[in-house]
Amino acid sequence: MTSNAPMDPDFDGTTRVLFVCTGNICRSPLAEGVLRHRADERGLDVVADSAGTGAWHIGERPDPRSIEVAARNGVTLTGRARRVVDEDLHEFHLVIAMDRSHLRHLERMRDRSGGEAILALMRDFDPEPGDGQVPDPYYGGPDGFDHIYEMIDRAVEALLNQLVAGDVP
């Protein structure tokens, strides 16, 4: 995790989390949906959103394979793709990248914008972090979406546990 300052949850008592991937149609909307679902199950006040580093899919719904794996697990994906902007690094407490290229992109944005968001990799929270990245399932088959769902779900559960315990910097 890279951070300039400790997490400051006193904005309004609501923790705001943004997930970032490449096009905002596969990994990040799935993470957004899982976080919303798991936080609701626990009665936690968490705002989740997602964005992409690229603009290819702005306005589109998530990939049908993300929607399908989410639905099979009781999660609804409702968002539309958007691109991450400098203001996000001021408005969100925690901005979570799906892989190292996204994290580098966000670090450059934060340096330029002066944003105070804490930046992390999704798998920084995963108790089984593997290589530390959530692989892009876009060009693979449906089993790739099942695989990333499992990674994201584990990492979200651990993230929520850390938020409840006050262990997120």
- Looking at the annotation, which residues are catalytic? 21, 27, 136
For 112, half-sphere exposure in the C-beta direction (CA atoms, 13 angstrom radius) is 10
End-to-end CA distance of the chain: 9
| Beta carbons of 51 and 82 less than 8 angstroms apart | yes
Kindly list the distances between the CA atom of residue 163 and the CA atoms of 16, 42, 87, in Å, as whole numbers in the listed order. Answer: 11, 12, 23
> Which structure tokens are listed for 42?
């626990």
| Beta carbons of 27 and 149 less than 8 angstroms apart | no
Look at phi and psi of residue 138 and say left if phi exceeds 0, alpha if psi is from -120 to 50, else beta: alpha
> Which residue shows structure tokens 């990248």?
97
> Which structure tokens are listed for 40?
């609701």
